Copies of this chain bind each other. A is one copy, B any other.
Amino acid sequence: VVTASSEDRTGTGSPRSAPRTARARARIELTRDITEAARRQLAEVGAAHLSLRAVARELGMASSAVYRYFASRDELLTALIVDAYDAIGETAERTDEDAVRAGASPIDRWRSVCRAVRDWAIAHPHEWALVYGSPVTGYAAPQDTVVPAGRMARVLATIATDAHDRGTAGVPSGTAGPPPDDLLAADVTALFDGAGPGFAERGLLTWISLIGAINFELFGHLHNVVEATDSYFDWAMDTTAELLGMLESGGAAG
Contacts and interface: CB of A to CB of B under 8 A. Distances in A.
Interface of A: 45-46, 48-49, 126, 129, 132-138, 141, 146, 149, 172, 174-185, 187-188, 201-202, 204-205, 208-209, 211-213, 215-216, 219-221, 224-228, 231-232, 235-236, 238-243, 247-248, 250-254
A252 B185 CA distance: 22
A133 to B, nearest CB: 3
Contact of A184 (B149, B220, B226): B226
A82 to B, nearest CB: 15
B226 A185 contact: yes
Contacts of A225: 184-185, 187-188, 204
Contact of A201 (B209, B235, B241, B251): B235
B183 A242 contact: no
Contact of A209 (B141, B178, B212): B212
Count the copies. 2
B182 A228 contact: yes
A45 B138 CA distance: 8
A177 B219 contact: no
B224 A185 contact: yes
A94 B140 CA distance: 36
A112 B139 CA distance: 33
A32 B104 CA distance: 59
Contact of A175 (B183, B209, B239): B239
A65 to B, nearest CB: 26
Contact of A183 (B185, B235, B243): B235
Contact of A253 (B178, B201, B221, B252): B178
A248 B134 contact: no
A81 to B, nearest CB: 12
Nearest to A171: B239
Nearest to A146: B224
A227 B187 contact: no
Contacts of A45: 137-138
A172 B215 CA distance: 26
B137 A46 contact: yes
A134 B254 contact: no
A177 B254 contact: yes
